[in-house]
Structure 1
C-alpha cells in the first residue's frame, strides 16, 4: 500500500473518459488499496483512479469514516441505472481542486450497477451524501470536474 500523488485541475488525465477495467487481478487489488490509503491521508470521502493518474473506471468511497466507523466501498466499472428526478443542491469539495468548494445539484438518490474486485456484478441504491459522493466520483471517470458543473462558493 502506498499514498499516491494526487493530480490537480489542469492535468489532462482528469479530462479524459476513463476506459473500462477488464483485468481483475492483483494489480487491480493493489491499486484499490493505494486509492483507500491516498483518500484517507488526503483526507477525503471518495477518490477516483484518474485522480492518481490512472485512467480506469474505478473509484472508492467512504462517507462514514470521518464521523464514525469506516465503511469503505469499491466501485469498478460503475454506471447509474436509475436516479431520482428530484435534485439536492449542496456544497462539494474535490481533492483535485484543493481549498475550493462548489455548489452542485445532484440527484437525491441513484441506483448503481458495478463490479467488485473479482468482477462479480453488483447493484445498489444510494441516497443523500452517498449519492452525492458517488455522482462526484463518477464524474471523474467521465472526465468532468466540479468546477465545470458547479458554482464556486
Structure 2
C-alpha cells in the first residue's frame, strides 16, 4: 500500500477541543471550498483520531467549525468502515433503539450508556466534492449519529438525563482536563 493512500499518513496531529469549550456547542458551517485546505484538514483529522485512538472525529473537535467528520469504525459484524464525509446530512436513523457505552475524544476517559438507533444513513460529499452515501449498522451507526451530533453543536452528554448525565458531568469536572 502506498504511504499516501493511508488516511492520516501525511496529516499532523492537532490539539483536541475538550468539553467546556464553546466550539463543541456551536453549529458548524457548511463547507464551500473543496480545495487543498479541506484535503489537509481531513488528513489532519485522521492523524488526530488515530493518535487519540478514536473511531470518529468531527472538525469542531480540532477547533475548525466546519461540517466535516472522519471515521475508522467497525460495525457489529466487525467489518471495518473508513472514510470521511463533508457537509453530512443524517437522512435515516431508525431500527431498534439500543443503549450502549459511548465515549468521546472531547471527554477523554469517560463513557455512558447512550441511546442510539442501530441503523443510520448519512449523505454528503468527499473532500473532492463527489457525492457519498454511508450506511451504518450497530456500532458504526452509533458513530455516524455521534459525529452528526457534533456538527450540530451537540455532544453525547446532551442526550443523557438523570443520574447518567449527572455522573458523567461530575466525572468530567474531576478529570485532569476538566479543570
In the superposition, the TM-score normalised over structure 1's length comes to 0.92
Aligned to 1:47: 57
Find out whether 1:30 has 2:40 as its counterpart.
yes
Is the partner of 1:72 in helix, strand or coil? strand
Aligned to 1:63: 73
Aligned to 1:19: 29
Q: Write out the 4+ residue segments of structure 1 that deviate beyond 4 Å after TM superposition.
A: 68-71
Question: Rg: which structure is higher?
Answer: 2
Aligned to 1:84: 94
In terms of fraction of residues, the more helix-rich structure is 2
The 5 Å alignment of 1:103-142 reads 103-142=113-152
1:33 and 1:82 map into 2 onto residues whose CA distance is 27
Find out whether 1:8 has 2:10 as its counterpart.
no
Q: CA deviation at 1:71?
A: 4.3
In the superposition, the TM-score normalised over structure 2's length comes to 0.79
Give ranges in structure 1 of 5+ residues lacking alignment: none
1:130 and 1:73 map into 2 onto residues whose CA distance is 12
Give ranges in structure 2 of 5+ residues lacking alignment: 1-10, 169-179
1:110 and 1:144 map into 2 onto residues whose CA distance is 17
In the comparison of the two structures, how many residue pairs are matched? 150
